[in-house]
Amino acid sequence: MVDLELLDNLKLSSSPFGQKVVSALGLRTNYHITHRVEIVIEGQHNIPTDRAVIFAMNHTDKYNYWPFQYQLAKTWRRYTATWVKAKYYEHPVMRSFMTWTNNIPTVSRGYLITKDFLGVTGRRPSRQEYGEMRRLVEDPTFQTDLDLPQRLFSEPRHILGLDFHPDRDAWPLFMGRLFTDFMRRFVALNRQALDVGADLIIFPQGTRSIRLSKGHIGLGAIALALKATVVPVGCSGSDGCYPGTSPWARSGRIVYRVGAPMTYEDMARHHVGAPFAPFTPEAEAAHRDKFQGFVDEVMERINDLVEPRYRFSEDRNSDGVSGTNRFV
């Protein structure tokens, strides 16, 4: 699992040994020897050579960033730190692999709520239970009529790095504070990655989906806070090479189209005009429209870079994983 201690101990590198080993022993064998995987990167001239950037990419399958990482390292000796869902850190072996290969776990409010509920009750929350708890955390004044497990609010326990004392804190306020602590560390890791020269890979959709869906505000918040350059990337064909959960790709052709870089100065219309702490309730309440506007513009550019079958559906909804399965 992901807790505060893991984030505190995570060290990112501009030249991660784990990525080099996986690339040399695993991906090279897979892509060039056992199966022929043709990796094409169009628009290479759009990748700045003088700074680390945020690559914003559509997320068609579980591994569609691997061929891109492989080609970046092989051609330009550029290495990355990728936003990866916290649920992939649940197994000790997978957690070690993820940290070894320079990834950054993304911890959402949903992850914290679901993990705590699961720890207290031994089961996942229903969709209705999750919805009510999410409203409680986002608005502690909310009054729910749903009969939620009272142990959730009355039982002292250790939750992912902090001790919950119900006689001192109301559960919704505590969970809000826990999320803030996670996000403070998360932002610091993103800053660390760019500072050491590692590119970030972010999937703005937040979940896998063949068709492009609406992007979440996280990309806008982090890019504006760090004043980072965002480079949109459209990935087409990876889902054919990685049709399931196996990390071993089938033969095929994957095309990455790289769009023009979007510098902080280029995105001035979305600037918030004052320093802010990303992922805090205050920043989201005050600047959500700016964050969403930023992400919407990035998603439109990605839409222009992918093949027709990957472009926005009419309702722009995801066709991927939904419910609490997104978190654990």
Domains of the chain, earliest start first: 4-102+180-326 (3.40.1130)
The pLDDT, as a whole number, for residue 224 is 98
CA distance 81 to 7: 14
What stretch of H or E contains 258?
A: strand 252-258
CA distance 47 to 39: 17
217: Cβ–Cβ under 8 A, 6 or more apart, which residues?
284, 288, 291, 292, 295
Taking only the tens of pLDDT, the chain with its 328 residues reads: 999 999 999 999 999 999 999 999 999 999 999 889 999 999 999 999 999 999 999 999 999 999 999 999 999 999 999 999 999 999 999 999 999 999 999 999 999 999 999 999 999 999 999 999 999 999 989 999 999 999 999 999 999 999 999 999 999 999 999 999 999 999 999 999 999 999 999 999 999 999 999 999 999 999 999 999 999 999 999 999 999 999 999 999 999 999 999 999 999 999 998 999 999 999 999 999 999 999 999 999 999 999 999 999 888 887 766 667 777 7
CA distance 174 to 187: 20
The pLDDT, as a whole number, for residue 319 is 75
The pLDDT, as a whole number, for residue 325 is 74
53: Cβ–Cβ under 8 A, 6 or more apart, which residues?
47, 199, 200, 228, 229, 230, 231, 261
Residue with tokens 């990167």: 41
The pLDDT, as a whole number, for residue 323 is 63
The pLDDT, as a whole number, for residue 313 is 85
Nearest-5° angle of CA 305, CA 317, CA 325? 110
The pLDDT, as a whole number, for residue 117 is 98
225: Cβ–Cβ under 8 A, 6 or more apart, which residues?
187, 276, 277, 278
DSSP string, 194-221: HHHTPEEEE-TTSS--SS--PPPTHHHH
Nearest CA among 90, 107, 103 for reference residue 22: 103
CA distance 264 to 270: 9
**Residues shown for the chain:** 328
For residue 252, what are its two tokens?
Answer: 């095929």
